[in-house]
Amino acid sequence: MKFPHGSTVSHSIHPLSVYVLFCSILSCPAAAFAAHPLITDDAGTIGGGKAQLEMNGEYEHEKEDGVTTETTQGAASLSYGLNESMDLIVGLPYQHIRTTDDTTIMTDNGFSDTSIEMKWRFYEHDDLSLAIKPGITLPTGDDETEFGAGKVSYRLFSIISKEMNPWAFHLNLGYIRNENTLNEEKDIWHASIASTFAMTDNLKAVANLGVESNTDELAGNDPAFFLAGMIYALSEELDLDCGIKYGLNGAETDYTALAGVTWRF
């Protein structure tokens, strides 16, 4: 594991970085948020003329070969309904990375690449919905510090959702053309499945399982994860959520804690 380029030595996370991280109301990360904390998106759209803002925070912990990497990310996803079946999503995440070994503490922070995506639900019948979500990522992050890819990339995801009250199931299959200046793998494939269970009118339990191609061209396996969490509806307009994601193999981050707020207006 390598330290971020251009890092500075530090013994603590600057309070301003944490504040910006969780209060930033810019938009979403490289892949737009699903119903947070899920990674897998659903085929639902928010409706013509309506908007949705998701403000999320994540803490990742990874330890490998005596080096501990802690990544804190804050982001928000802004979605707008172009019509009843099509949404536009635009965004940008912010990251703070702290890397430590036996003798050194290094930190770095910055904004990552901007993404623009569109979700189109083209089929809906008997609680089955199908959608596609194409998108591009603009190189607004600094690739010299590895907060950005340095090039425009693009992606296409297919989404299948099935409602079986109180259950719902979602399947994502996707391809990412990971153009970059970091010597990463350029052809990335994604597959994931998620389920939600309505425990009450206001509370849902969620679970997520997925795998994605490793961006390290020399890696022997692809990162796989399992996620579990809850979504609580304070009102029709406001949701709170939390979850934890575990790596199922050494290629995935050991664990990630997630929390977020969703506001519909």
Residue 150 bridge partners (DSSP): none
CATH of domain 8-264: 2.40.160.40
pLDDT score of 138 more than 50: yes
Q: Which residue has the tokens 């206001």?
A: 202
Q: Give the model's confidence band at 91: pLDDT under 50 very low, under 70 low, under 90 confident, else very high.
A: confident
**Exposed (0-12), middle (13-18) or buried (19+): which is 133, by Cβ within 10 Å?**
buried
pLDDT score of 1 more than 70: no
Contact 70, 105 (CB under 8 A): no
- In tens, the pLDDT along 167-224 reads 999 999 999 999 999 999 999 999 999 999 999 999 999 999 999 999 998 888 999 9
Tell me what pLDDT residue 218 has: 87
Tell me what pLDDT residue 30 has: 38
Question: What gap in Å lies between CA 236 and CA 17, rounded to an integer?
Answer: 32
- In tens, the pLDDT along 12-70 reads 334 444 333 333 333 333 344 578 999 999 999 999 999 999 999 999 999 888 899 99
Question: What gap in Å lies between CA 248 and CA 259, rounded to an integer?
Answer: 21
Task: Return all residues near 70 (Cβ < 8 A) that are at least 6 apart.
Answer: 59, 60, 61, 62, 97, 98, 99, 100
Q: pTM for this one?
A: 0.84
Q: Give the model's confidence band at 11: pLDDT under 50 very low, under 70 low, under 90 confident, else very high.
A: very low
